[in-house]
Amino acid sequence: MPPIDPMQETLEPTPFEAPKQQADLKARRLSPRRLATLVIAALIGITAWHLFTAKAVLIAFTPPAESESVSGWLTLPLGERYLVRPGDLNVQAEAKGYYPIDTRLTILSDADQRFALAFEKLPGHLRLTTGGIPAEVEIDGEPVGTTPLTVSSLSAGEHLVTIRAEWYRPLQTTVDILGLDQSQDLALTLEPAWGTASLSSQPAEARLTKDGEDLGLLPKTVRLIEGARTVLISKAGYQSQRLDLVIQRGTAIIVPKVTLAPANGAVTLNSTPTGALVTANGVYLGVTPLQHALSPNRDYDFLISKSGFESVTRSLQLAPTETVTLDLTLSPRLGSVTFDIAPKQAKIRINGILQSANNPTMQLPTTPQTIKISQEGFASITQTITPDADFPKTLRINLLTLAEAELAQFPETLEVRGGYRMQRILPATIELGAARRDRGGRGNEIQRLITLTEPYYLGTTEITNAQYQAFDASHNPGVLGRTLLTAQARPVVGVSWDRAVAFCNWLSDQDGLPRAYASVNGRYELITPRTLGYRLPTEAEWSRAGRYADIAAGAQGDITGRSRFAWGEDLPPPNDFANLADETAMGFAPNIIPNFKDRFRGPAPAGHFKANALGLFDLTGNVAEWMHDRFSTNRTPTTATDWTGPSEGAVRVIRGSSFLSGSFSTLRWAYRDSGLEGRQDVGFRLAKSAVAGAVE
């Protein structure tokens, strides 16, 4: 086909047609019949759907409900069941005599569901009677009233009923309340709980009471609750009488006639002074002031006594209800006391009252008397004495001067651990050293005048091996010649100055005392002010106790005239005077004393030889002794008070002769030696201050 030329194409018109929309709408509009058919079809469909998808629910009531109502979405009754959709379901039900049920159930997706609902009973009512006897009622422990009584609204079930009435036995029972708003009757019979007692009295018309309740005048028959009962029978002018009765319920007893005794009288006894002992017919009644009841128409003999006073007697007879007051003054009982007082001019005070000095014998009450004796410059004494009327007494008192009294506060001896004893030494002024031209003298024996101002204690013996080994069990000084130096009773030797001081501190610790020494830069120094701990004696203390043993406290005396040796001025000493170098020391002592015997080759047991005037042993002989003082040849000071030696010095002083001493020089009191390390002829003894804080 040949191509068409677009320029030559002819356009032709198309015929117009109107739209058919309106006609279609009319054709689709439903008629009423058709609409009804559709609704019915929908309901049938929904019902069919509900029947096929709803759950069957059975609700059982106990007891059976008289009316019930179940509401929920699309809930349909079906015989005994309901067809319901899963979800919440409201249930109401009623039954006569029960509380209505109004509850909500939750329906699950299970095919067949069952619910059991129980009605709760309504409360019941109880009418209580006790045969016309008023009684208190408790139900389940709670008071509810007095019979006759109706108790409403008791829950169904068993209840405990308790009945109490005066004069009747308590009663308990249980009652089963039916509930259901029903009334029940409970009639109870009470059992009497009393018996009777018939009482009479002589005299008649006495009053009968029980627990303060007036029961009337006798003779009388009274009703009493069963059990042990106490009644009181009383009448003016007579003594009341208590009766203990045993009452049994339902029985009657007749009590024998009660005879009342006449009422007591009363006596009041006062004495000056108070506190006197009172007896009546030999029976102790008490101390004054005293009030006591007495049987009437009876004789009483009273004795009133007090220590230190004359006794008083009185006789009484009282009528019924009669009262008597006796005011008695006791005379002091005197005893003779003679005062023998020194000094004669001392003042005597008795119970604080100054007495005449012209009357040494006094008559004093035989009660404790406080006696004070005083005199200026003397220490007062107060003591108590009880004079005796039958035996005269003498009071002898010697007043001490103030210094003597101060000293008396320190005991003469001290007992130390391990059996060691220490002796009190009184203060004095002494001289140390010797003159340069003294025979046998040495350049280190510097003369000094030393004043000791305080008492002190010094060991009566040197420390023994047994005592030292309690501190250092390993100590062993060995053997000298054929002499064993470790014998327990012998003085310890071979002890350095430091170890002796260490022993002092250890013993202070053992006895609970403050230490006397402190370690300063590795060296022991005496603590100042002084403590009460154990220490080594100073040279002055040792010399005062040895060379000046016979000086009285505070006396100066002829301090330059003391003997050269402990036994006198010349050699040899008396045999057995001390342990020195006799012929038994031949071979190890540098010098032997001719014509002298002590019978010991080495150290003797401590305290073997005779003590000096102060009771101290071995200050001469046995072993030499460590002193506290540093050794020095400096000649200052020439006088000192409570001197403890120089402040500087490399070694310490050793004083006293030993079992190795046999030369004229070493046996003298003034002989001094020095050292620091232990030696086989050097030991030590203890010293102790009597007063803490003594001046250094």
Residues 695 and 624 grouped into a single domain:
yes
* Whether residues 180 and 203 fall in one domain: no
What the block records as the tokens of 321 is 């209800």
Is the model's pLDDT at 153 over the cut of 70?
A: yes
What SS3 class is residue 151?
A: strand
Judge contact between 654 and 673, C-beta under 8 A: yes
Same domain? For 543 and 586 the reply is yes
**Where does a domain end: 259, 292, 313?**
259
Phi and psi at 545, nearest 5°, equal: -75, -20
Query: Could you check whether the bond before residue 219 is cis, i.e. omega within 30 degrees of 0?
Result: yes
Q: Cβ atoms within 10 A of the Cβ of 310, count? A: 13
CA–CA dist 95, 85 (Å, integer): 27
Residue 30 resides in a domain: no
Residue 24 has pLDDT above 80, yes or no: no
Based on the domain organization, do 471 and 444 belong to the same domain? yes
Q: Which of 313, 329, 345 is the last residue of a domain?
A: 329
At 65, which amino acid appears? A
Q: Which domain CATH number covers 444?
A: 3.90.1580.10
149, 281: one domain: no
Would the pLDDT of 181 be above 70? yes
Residue type, 227: G
Domain boundary among 329, 348, 377: 329
Q: Which of 551, 582, 572, 550 is nearest to 658 (CA)?
A: 582
Q: Which domain holds residue 282?
A: 266-329
Query: How many distinct helices (H) and strands (E) make up the chain?
Result: 6, 55
Q: Is residue 98 part of a domain?
A: no
Q: Are residues 251 and 298 both part of a single domain?
A: no
pLDDT at position 553: 52
Residue 562 lies in a domain: yes
Nearest to 497 by CA among 637, 696, 673: 673
Looking at the structure, tell me whether residues 361 and 482 fall in a common domain: no
Does any domain span residue 599? yes
Q: Is residue 82 part of a domain?
A: no
**252 and 275 co-located in one domain:** no
- 637 and 533 belong to one structural domain: yes
Per residue in 249-305, pLDDT (tens digit) is 889 999 999 999 888 889 999 999 999 999 999 999 999 999 999 889 899 999 999
**In this structure, are residues 600 and 576 in contact, taking their beta carbons and an 8 Å threshold?**
no
Residue identified by tokens 């250890």 is 506
Element (H, E) at 229: strand 227-234
Paired tokens of 254: 């007749």
**Is there a domain that residue 33 lies in?**
no
Q: What average pLDDT does the segment 137-147 reach?
A: 91
Q: How many domains are contained in the chain?
A: 5
Least confidently predicted of 76-80, 148-152, 239-243, 617-621: 76-80
Regarding beta strands 682-683 and 624-630, do their DSSP bridges make them parallel or antiparallel, or are they unpaired?
A: parallel
- CATH code for the domain in which residue 305 is found: 2.60.40.1120
Instruction: Report yes or no on 87 lying in a domain.
Output: no
Are 591 and 624 contained in the same domain?
Answer: yes
Report the amino acid identity of residue 618. Answer: D
Q: Which amino acid would we find at residue 433?
A: G
pLDDT above 90 (res 173):
yes
pLDDT in tens, 182-211: 888 999 999 999 999 999 999 999 999 998
In a domain, 630, yes or no: yes
Specify whether 363 is located in the same domain as 507. no
pLDDT category at 2 given cuts 50, 70, 90 is: very low
149 and 210 share a domain? no
CATH of the domain at 238: 2.60.40.10
- How distant, in Å, are the alpha carbons of 243, 256, 260 from that of 203? 16, 13, 7
Token pair in block for residue 618: 């071995």
Measured from the Cβ of residue 474, the count of other Cβ atoms closer than 10 Å reads 5
The rounded distance, in Å, linking the Cα atoms of 367 and 337 is 12
